[in-house]
């Protein structure tokens, strides 16, 4: 009798200790993922090639690095723009893979087969990431005639709509388009041992759509907005149902923009771009209806962001899906550390680390996915923060040192180039929704008083920042100039207004028009050229961009478009513009 009592006491004590150990252990999320972007060769391959050996070695290197970082799931973009990184009877080979759309890799090499095999050998899942609607993209096969003959968009131009920015996308209203897109996903599931089919945040490209005829034909009693949402709903449900019918073990998930909708009865307390209202993606419905196995909203803001606070958005999703079997992963903006300048909130990596810590307090969050691979691989600070979190380790000495940096410019002290990478999978939807950040770095300069302005007399003690003078007067920008790929980029409005030019912005086609004297200059965000007086074009090696809600243009655009004299003092990083 006493032996039984002692045995029971020890058993209870063992169970209690086990439960306490589980309760106090730091939970590790089930999905530790990364997006591998192929559009515009962001991640893979680093440059187009038909060389099978080179493509294999690069894939192996990337997967080895993923394994080192503790990543257990990769989301490989296999259809960036109505094309394929695999042998397809529906879509042509991608130009981002081999350099020309429709051209296959050498020796019968199939990248998706190789990636799946190599990933699984390392214990890593591979989800095939597709962009269903996108057909063309700025600077790449920008018209249907330039597409390969095998492209379904070229074979069926009636399936396509041209958006106001000049790009084509498949018409979500057409039943034939839905059938095409579902068949494309099923082809992957049939022929490849993928663990999932994955889509991101490209649905309707915006609100300015020429679909009145389709609405008259198919709209029925629904409002235009509800009809557009229903078109996408039908595609999402078809994809889920037919993928599960073919192979129940293959997951289907979507990574939409972070905010479902702002305010209202069900929306979040945010001011960001709305998936529901602006691109007609009812992401909340898909998750609650069980049409996706997981949803991975791209919560690309920091904790405390005015427009979309990371904590508010993440907890909104967790609360919304609390009683739903749909899994919640969070898409996280590792790339913003690489983009950050000294003094900005993302610069030392703390913003990402704090978000990791917050996620651990929200049980519904069962995974985290980083955007994008190249930023993790190229930046030691990001690499350490992510790998230590995913591997469950303590923060490294490198991270601690980065956080203790006294001078904001230290990490860039010996570099003249501040690299700026723009998020490729959001630039066509709308202007990025970020706070207006004004650097706290104090720029000190001394100008010797003389009657003649001399750029060489300026002493710029902060070599990270770029100073700009127009006719001897310094311009104070709300957003500082940066150097991208060796090219000085300046805020358009600040410079153009300083040289006496009017500036107009057309939101529908993302076009800026400036007028000075009798010279009219126009440019489109993301397009590397300038139009002068509607008659001549100047090609640029860096396209205009939007950064923190400000339009940036290469300095060369100012000089060549208006014929102004522009000077550059490399040692002091000072720009001079003369209008006289």
Per-residue pLDDT reduced to its tens digit, 255-281:
999 999 999 999 999 999 999 999 999
Evaluate if residue 34 carries a pLDDT over 50: yes
Q: For 312-324, what is the mean pLDDT?
A: 98
Q: Which helix (H) or strand (E) holds 365?
A: strand 365-370
Superfamily of domain 25-405: Glycosidases (3.20.20.80)
**Are 447 and 458 spatial neighbours (Cβ–Cβ below 8 Å)?**
yes
Query: Residues 129-168: pLDDT tens digits?
Result: 999 999 998 756 668 999 999 999 999 999 999 988 889 9
Question: Which tens digit of pLDDT belongs to each residue from 365-394?
Answer: 999 999 999 999 999 999 999 999 999 863
> Which one is predicted more confidently, 287 or 539?
287
Residue 388's pLDDT is 95
- Residue 426 above 80 pLDDT? no
What pLDDT shows up at residue 181? Answer: 98
What is the model's pLDDT at position 320? 98
Most confident of 283-287, 420-424, 442-446: 283-287
What is the domain partition of the chain in residue ranges?
25-405, 445-578
- State the pLDDT at residue 502: 76
Helix, strand, coil percentages (3-state) for the chain, rounded to 5, are 35, 20, 45
Task: Give the pLDDT score at 560.
Answer: 67
319, 314, 397: which is closest to 357 by C-alpha?
A: 314
Q: Which of 338-342, 386-390, 428-432 has the lowest mean pLDDT?
A: 428-432
Please provide the average confidence, as pLDDT, over all residues in the chain: 82
Question: Does residue 412 have a pLDDT over 70?
Answer: no
pLDDT above 80 (res 563): no
- pLDDT at residue number 529: 84
Per-residue pLDDT, 579: 72
pLDDT at 466 (0 to 100): 77
Euclidean distance between CA atoms 79 and 39, whole angstroms:
9
CATH 3.30.457.10 fits domain 445-578:
yes
Lowest mean pLDDT among 157-171, 197-211, 301-315, 393-407: 393-407
pLDDT in the model for residue 425: 39
How does residue 551 score in pLDDT terms, banded at 50, 70 and 90? confident
Q: What is the DSSP string of 529-546?
A: EEEETTTEEEE-SS--EE
Q: Is the pTM of this model over 0.75?
A: no
Percent pLDDT > 90 in the chain is 58
**β-sheet bridge partners, residue 515:** 502, 520
Residue predicted with more confidence, 339 or 172: 172
Residue 455 to residue 557: CA distance in whole angstroms: 21
Higher pLDDT: 475 or 26? It is: 475
Two tokens, residue 303: 């904790």
> Once rounded to an integer, what is the mean pLDDT over residues 544-565?
77
Long-range contacts of 405-414 (CB under 8 A, 24+ apart): 405/348, 408/342, 408/343, 408/347, 408/441, 408/464, 409/342, 409/441, 409/462, 409/463, 409/464, 411/342, 411/381, 412/342, 412/464, 413/463
Query: Which residues are registered as beta bridge partners of 576?
Result: 469, 567
DSSP 407: S
Q: Is the per-residue pLDDT at 117 higher than 60?
A: yes
* pLDDT single digits (tens) 431-487: 333 333 333 333 333 333 333 445 455 555 444 567 888 877 788 877 778 776 667
Name the pLDDT band for 17 (thresholds 50, 70, 90).
very low
191 by DSSP, 3-state: which? helix
Tokens of 140: 């790449």
Asked if the model's pLDDT at residue 541 lies above 50, the reply is yes
- Residue of 95 and 415 predicted with greater confidence: 95
Higher pLDDT, 538 or 169: 169
Tokens of 102: 């429709």
In the predicted structure, residue 170 carries a pLDDT above the cut 90? yes
Q: How far is CA 431 from CA 140, 428, 548, in A?
A: 20, 8, 9
Predicted local confidence at residue 399, as pLDDT: 41
Name the band, by pLDDT with cuts 50, 70 and 90, for residue 428. very low
Q: Lowest mean pLDDT: which of 228-242, 315-329, 453-467?
A: 453-467
Alpha-carbon gap, residue 256 to 277, rounded angstroms: 13
Q: Retrieve residue 50's tokens.
A: 């038909």
pLDDT (mean) for 419-427: 36
pLDDT of residue 195: 98
Q: Which of 50-64, 239-253, 442-456, 511-525 has the lowest mean pLDDT?
A: 442-456
């Amino acid at each position: 009798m006493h032996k039984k009592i002692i045995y029971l006491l020890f058993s209870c004590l063992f169970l209690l200790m086990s439960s306490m150990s589980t309760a106090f252990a730091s939970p590790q999320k089930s999905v530790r993922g990364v997006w591998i972007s192929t559009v515009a060769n962001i991640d893979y391959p680093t440059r187009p090639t038909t060389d099978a050996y080179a493509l294999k070695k690069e894939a192996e290197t990337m997967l080895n690095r993923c394994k080192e970082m503790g990543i257990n799931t990769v989301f490989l973009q296999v259809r960036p723009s109505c094309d394929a990184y695999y042998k397809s009877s529906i879509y042509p080979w991608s130009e981002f893979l081999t350099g020309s759309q429709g051209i296959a890799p050498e020796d019968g090499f199939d990248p998706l087969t190789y990636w799946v095999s190599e990933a699984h050998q390392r214990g890593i899942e591979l989800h095939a990431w597709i962009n269903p609607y996108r057909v063309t993209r700025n600077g790449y096969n920008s018209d249907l005639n330039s597409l390969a003959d095998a492209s379904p968009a070229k074979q069926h131009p009636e399936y396509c709509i041209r958006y106001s920015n000049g790009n084509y996308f498949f018409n979500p209203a057409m039943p034939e388009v839905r059938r095409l897109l579902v068949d494309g996903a099923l082809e992957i599931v049939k022929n490849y041992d993928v663990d999932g089919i994955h889509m991101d945040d490209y649905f309707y490209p915006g609100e300015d759509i020429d679909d009145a005829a389709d609405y008259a034909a198919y709209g029925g009693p629904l409002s235009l907005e509800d009809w557009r949402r229903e078109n996408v709903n039908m595609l999402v449900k078809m994809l889920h149902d037919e993928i599960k019918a073919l192979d129940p073990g293959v997951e289907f998930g979507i990574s939409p923009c972070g905010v479902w909708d702002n305010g209202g009865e069900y929306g979040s307390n945010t001011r960001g771009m709305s998936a529901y209202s602006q691109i007609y993606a009812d992401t909340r419905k898909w998750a609650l209806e069980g049409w996706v196995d997981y949803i991975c909203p791209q919560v690309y803001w920091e904790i405390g962001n005015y427009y979309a606070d990371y904590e508010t958005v993440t907890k909104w999703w967790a609360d919304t899906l609390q009683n739903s079997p749909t899994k919640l992963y969070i898409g996280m903006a590792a790339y913003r550390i690489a983009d950050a300048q000294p003094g900005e909130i993302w610069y030392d990596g703390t913003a990402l680390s704090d978000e990791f810590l917050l996620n651990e307090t929200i049980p519904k969050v069962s995974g985290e996915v980083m955007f994008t691979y190249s930023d993790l691989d190229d930046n030691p600070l990001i690499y350490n923060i992510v790998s230590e979190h995913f591997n469950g380790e303590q923060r490294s000495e490198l991270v601690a040192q980065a956080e203790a940096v006294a001078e904001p410019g230290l990490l860039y002290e010996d570099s003249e180039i501040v690299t700026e990478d723009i998020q490729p999978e959001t630039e066509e939807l709308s202007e990025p929704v970020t706070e207006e950040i004004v650097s706290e770095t104090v720029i000190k300069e001394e100008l010797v008083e003389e009657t003649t302005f001399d750029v060489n007399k300026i002493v710029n003690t902060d070599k990270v920042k770029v100073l700009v003078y127009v006719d001897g007067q310094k311009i104070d920008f709300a957003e500082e100039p940066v150097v991208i790929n060796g090219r000085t980029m300046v805020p358009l409005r600040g410079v153009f207004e300083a040289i006496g030019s009017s500036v107009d912005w057309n939101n529908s086609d993302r076009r800026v028009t400036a007028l000075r004297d009798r010279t009219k200059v126009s440019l489109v965000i993301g397009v590397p050229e300038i139009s002068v007086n509607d008659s001549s074009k100047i090609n640029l090696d860096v396209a205009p961009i939007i950064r923190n809600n400000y339009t940036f243009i290469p300095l060369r655009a100012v000089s060549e478009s208006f014929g102004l004299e522009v000077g550059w003092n490399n040692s002091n990083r000072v720009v001079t513009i003369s209008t006289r």
